[in-house]
Copies of this chain bind each other. A is one copy, B any other.
Amino acid sequence: MRAYNFCAGPAALPTPVLERAQQELADWHGRGLSIMEMSHRSSDYVAVAHKAETDLRTLLNIPDNYKVLFLQGGASLQFSAIPLNLLGKNARADYVHTGIWSEKALKEAQRYGDINVIEAGRTIDGKFAIAPQSEWQLSDNAAYLHYVDNETIGGLQFDFIPESNAPLVADFSSSILSAPLDVSKFGIIYAGAQKNIGPAGLTIVIVREDLLDQARSDIPSILKYSDQAKNDSMVNTPATFAWYLSGLVFEWLLEQGGVAAIQQVNLQKARLLYDYIDQSDFYANPIALQNRSIMNVPFTLKDTNLEKIFLKEAEGVGLLNLAGHRSVGGMRASIYNAVPLEGVQALVAFMQEFAKKHG
């Protein structure tokens, strides 16, 4: 029996996707071999890869002047790849700091240029929030402006897209495909797959064509966007199985009605959970209303001594992976696209019962 999985990543995948992958795992479409055993240059595999890209383009309405790359190494490798691709030697970039992931990104970038850090996290009435852009000090000459749309660990999400003269570069690892997105406002959108796309080991980079050809000469070929774009993300062998499985997730998303439809379910799930936490005096969420993540809901228990019991009892009723990130503790429910409304309903029912028993 499948449990409800609230893991922040690698995260829940849609059950119908796993069942389809399972059915065709040892013999893909009667070809006598697994999709994992196929040359990435075979016509069968190229069709699978191409369909995944086409479906992703449809889901996010990606304009024609953007390339979609299917790479390896995670968002963390992009933390280096982005400055290596966009930042001439000793050039400047603006980085908005809102939490642990945006900090990791800017620390990597500091190796490659002059990084202007915009401290945009602030506490308002005891709740953590993102400072409005009017208070940011942007550089005049930045090569780009970088931010993390959704801080997976903090549970803090942007409620706006920053305005910028410099190309906007954004990490959407934990929020991509959760809601419609105007890709045309961005220079680069990137995301590790293992939250809202597919299995770990794949990273999607959506890059505007005019940004392809600015890489430093000492960049590794595998990280160079122009080389990957020219070679359809196959400068070398890509993560073929993860790419294929992400394609199945894209098909599933289209069957659900696309990103606008799944957004409605996501809002319903998030509202259910936040509303319950807010009216409870047993649980609390530390984030200001306007910056609450729709995907990652951190919460604390009134008595931290109850955390272990909470996790154990939750696991006992099939509610898995509710521990907060090891760096911050507490609880966290990641409610990505693949976590159904029923999962959140079951979680809230359990939280109610637990509060009654231990409150």
Contact = CB atoms under 8 A, between A and B. Distances in A.
**Most chain B CB within a 10 A radius of its CB, from A5, A42, A79, A236:** A236
Contacts of A222: 73-74, 76-77, 80
Given A112-B218, A201-B242, A217-B111, A33 B3 contact: yes
A31 B26 CA distance: 23
Contact of A26 (B18, B194, B220, B318): B18
Interface stretch (A6-14, A163-171, A272-280, A300-308): A6-14
Contacts of A201: 72, 201-202, 238-242
Interface in A21-46: 21-22, 25-27, 31-34, 36-42
A235 interface: yes
B76 A32 contact: no
A19 B13 contact: no
A209 interface: no
B318 A32 contact: yes
**Most chain B CB within a 10 A radius of its CB, from A26, A37, A192, A237:** A37
A219 to B, nearest CB: 8
A203 to B, nearest CB: 9
A252 to B, nearest CB: 14
- Copies of this chain assembled into the complex: 2
B73 A73 contact: yes
A191 interface: no
Interface string A305-349: 000000000000010110000100000000000000000000000
Contacts of A27: 1-2
A221 B39 contact: no
A15 interface: yes
A108 B40 contact: no
Given A76-B235, A235-B76, A238-B200, A26 B33 contact: no
A233 to B, nearest CB: 12
Contact of A7 (B18, B21, B38, B220): B38
B32 A194 contact: no
A15 B10 contact: no
A312 to B, nearest CB: 13
A10 B32 contact: no
A200 B40 contact: yes
Nearest to A8: B39
A187 interface: no
A75 interface: yes
A223 B221 CA distance: 14
A77 B220 contact: yes
Contact of A239 (B38, B111, B220, B239): B239
Nearest to A73: B72
A155 interface: no
Interface in A270-309: none
A199 interface: yes
A241 B2 contact: no
Given A74-B237, A77-B222, 7 more contacts: A2-B27, A12-B37, A25-B25, A36-B245, A72-B74, A200-B237, A200-B240
14 contacts: A5-B37, A10-B40, A10-B237, A19-B26, A21-B25, A22-B26, A36-B245, A40-B200, A72-B72, A77-B220, A79-B221, A80-B220, A192-B237, A201-B239
